């Protein structure tokens, strides 16, 4: 099961960046993984939310061909960690398209990205900062892989 993680812009918080690398490396020991930090809209007034999301959608779209697209959004389905690992196991057994997890920038994802999603996933009913979402997602994918492999991973 090949895994891709896509989001606009580099992670700015050094601590979150460190955690991102930590979980990516743990995932990498269990499955091929790639993190792609796509083009970020910068220097645009935040009130132009549509324009920002549109620009960032352009960067994300370059990486969405031939992959199973999982968009993170507050309006997505919530799952337990066990349900999420069952879902991943099901995809691994399937046609074998790589999975691409797509996390929006601080304004979220453009509608035209959300519309391409094969699955819309919510990490929580609560809204997390977009950088924290990256880490929580990576931790859940790592947890799911350890559940699939039957490894021990502490709560």
Residue 79 contacts by C-beta under 8 Å, 6 or more apart in sequence? Answer: 87, 121
Least separation in angstroms between CB 147 and a copy of itself: 10
Residue 93 contacts by C-beta under 8 Å, 6 or more apart in sequence? Answer: none
Nearer to a copy of itself, 96 or 127 (CB): 127
Interface residues toward a copy of itself, by CB under 8 A: 13-16, 18-19, 22, 78-81, 84, 106-108, 123-130, 132, 135-136, 139-140, 143, 154-155
Nearer to a copy of itself, 38 or 85 (CB): 85
Least separation in angstroms between CB 128 and a copy of itself: 7
Angstrom CA distances, 16 to 11, 21, 75, 129, 142, stand at: 7, 9, 24, 11, 16
Strand partners, 102: 6, 71
Least separation in angstroms between CB 66 and a copy of itself: 28
Least separation in angstroms between CB 45 and a copy of itself: 14
Element (H, E) at 89: helix 81-93
């Amino acid at each position: 099961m090949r895994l891709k993680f896509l989001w606009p812009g580099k992670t700015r918080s050094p601590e979150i960046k460190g955690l991102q690398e930590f979980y990516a490396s743990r995932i990498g020991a269990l499955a091929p993984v790639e993190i792609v930090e796509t083009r970020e809209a910068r220097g645009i007034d935040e009130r132009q939310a549509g324009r920002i999301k549109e620009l960032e959608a352009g960067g994300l779209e370059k990486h969405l061909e031939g992959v199973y697209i999982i968009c993170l959004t507050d309006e997505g389905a919530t799952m337990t960690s066990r349900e999420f690992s069952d879902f991943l196991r099901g995809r691994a057994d399937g046609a074998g398209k790589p999975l691409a997890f797509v996390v929006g920038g601080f304004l979220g994802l453009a509608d035209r990205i959300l519309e391409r999603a094969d699955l819309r996933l919510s990490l929580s009913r609560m809204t997390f900062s977009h950088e924290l979402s990256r880490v929580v997602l990576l931790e859940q994918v790592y947890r799911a892989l350890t559940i699939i492999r039957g490894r021990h991973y502490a709560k």
